[in-house]
Amino acid sequence: MIRGKIVGIGAYAPKRILTNHDLERMVATSDEWIVQRSGIRQRHVIEEGETTSDLAVRAAQQALERANLTPDDVDFIVVGTTTADMQFPSTANFVQGKLGCRRIGSVDVWAACTGSIYGLAVGSQFVQTGKYRRVLVIGAEALSRITDWTDRSTCVLLADAAGAVVLEACEDGRGVIDADLYSDARHWELLYMPGGGAQYPASHETVDQRMHFAKMRGNELFKVAVRMFVECASTLLERHGLKVSDIDLFVPHQANLRIIEAAAKRLDMPMDRVFVNVDRYGNTGAASVYVALEEAVAAGRVRAGDLILLAAFGGGVTWGAALLRW
């Protein structure tokens, strides 16, 4: 059976770091509140003039280098993002050009923070069917660009980064085994950005009403997130006849340490098998799972043959999980 194996992984975070103490000077918050409620201590924020596709390209270049491949070797590009460079063309389209790839297909996947898992599912399907040999899957965000820096309930959480993996067709049992994707629009008002689309096109009014910023009902989203994490991970494991104890490493979306701990507890997954780096990156949306997986690999937490569980949730609400053999 053909699977998409990760033959290279890369990550990139902008140089500029914003600490909780920096935020204390911007909104009515405290380092203590942010650490206690979210586990976040600092986050990276994009520079002026930089954009989502720039971060994506840096992560992709690292992934390709590590795979000993060049942009010419890529057959298709998928970018998961909530903060596309423009309404159109797609960010993936810009990545194709900036990386210097051939005239290959490229597409953005819009599933908020679950864009990481959605992107991986889309990319690995193309490999599994034999359509493409190598697919570049990227999660990239400049969430600071849709952050209301006067809203303390969101500005302490959202951040910028990119992560990328090169999936290559292989038949040695390694690679993406399966991925489950979900959405439930009954909860769309828990996290959304109303302005700039077809419903509320940009106008003086949308700007005055701060409609071009992310709006969130954090406390409600928190509860939904924990439930969805647990549900989708359990369903995926069950279908493959696996137990939580079979998983060598769980790499969840890094939104909030308390969400991760609550989900791990309900899954009966010990925290020493859960990778966490939300403290240093904040919530980087569709990039977070890849940024965390890259760090886990670099830290020697992943060995060939390990069984890895990825899971994410985000606005929509959307959620999903993926299982892969490293």
Of 197-205, 211-219, 227-235, 297-305, which part binds ligand ACO (CB under 6 A)? 211-219
Options 113, 155, 187, 277, the catalytic residue: 113
* 283: annotated active-site residue: yes
Tell me how far, at minimum, the Cβ of 64 lies from ligand ACO, in Å: 27
Tell me how far, at minimum, the Cβ of 316 lies from ligand ACO, in Å: 8
Q: Which of 16, 17, 33, 242 binds ligand ACO (CB under 6 A)?
A: 33
CB-based contact 160:58 (threshold 8 Å) = no
Which residues does 128 contact at the CB level (< 8 Å), separation at least 6? 1, 2, 3, 4, 176
CB-based contact 95:106 (threshold 8 Å) = yes
Of 58-66, 68-76, 150-158, 166-174, which part binds ligand ACO (CB under 6 A)? 150-158
Tell me how far, at minimum, the Cβ of 298 lies from ligand ACO, in Å: 24
224 binds ligand ACO (CB under 6 A): no
The residue type found at 34 is: I
156 binds ligand ACO (CB under 6 A): yes
Site string for ligand ACO, 166-195 (x = CB under 6 A): -------------------------x----
Tell me the three state secondary structure of residue 64.
Answer: helix
Of 2-10, 30-38, 164-172, 292-300, which part binds ligand ACO (CB under 6 A)? 30-38
Number of residues that bind ligand ACO (CB under 6 A): 23
* 253: annotated active-site residue: yes
For residue 249 the two structure tokens come to: 């490493």
125 binds ligand ACO (CB under 6 A): no
81 binds ligand ACO (CB under 6 A): no
Options 20, 187, 253, 256, the catalytic residue: 253
For residue 243 the two structure tokens come to: 């137990």
Decide whether 4 or 115 has the Cβ nearer to ligand ACO: 115
The residue type found at 304 is: A
Of 60-68, 148-156, 172-180, 301-309, which part binds ligand ACO (CB under 6 A)? 148-156
For residue 149 the two structure tokens come to: 């820096």
Decide whether 137 or 193 has the Cβ nearer to ligand ACO: 193
Element housing 11 (H / E): strand 3-12
Decide whether 174 or 253 has the Cβ nearer to ligand ACO: 253
74 binds ligand ACO (CB under 6 A): no
DSSP notation for 145-186: GG--TT-HHHHTTB-EEEEEEEEEEE-SS-EEEEEEEEE-GG
Q: Which of 13, 55, 78, 113 binds ligand ACO (CB under 6 A)?
A: 113
Tell me how far, at minimum, the Cβ of 120 lies from ligand ACO, in Å: 16
* 170: annotated active-site residue: no
The residue among 80, 87, 22 whose CA lies nearest residue 55 is 80
Distance (Å, rounded) from C-alpha 225 to C-alpha 286? 15
> CA dist 217 to 144, 165, 315, Å?
18, 32, 11
Which residues does 173 contact at the CB level (< 8 Å), separation at least 6? 3, 325
How many residues does the structure list for the chain? Answer: 326
Output phi, psi for 10, to 5 deg.
Answer: -145, 160
Virtual CA dihedral for 173, 104, 102, 162, nearest 10 degrees? -70
Which of the residues are catalytic?
113, 253, 283
- Point out which residues bind ligand ACO (CB under 6 A): 29, 33-34, 37-38, 112-113, 152-153, 156, 191, 216, 218-219, 221-222, 225, 255-256, 283, 285, 314-315
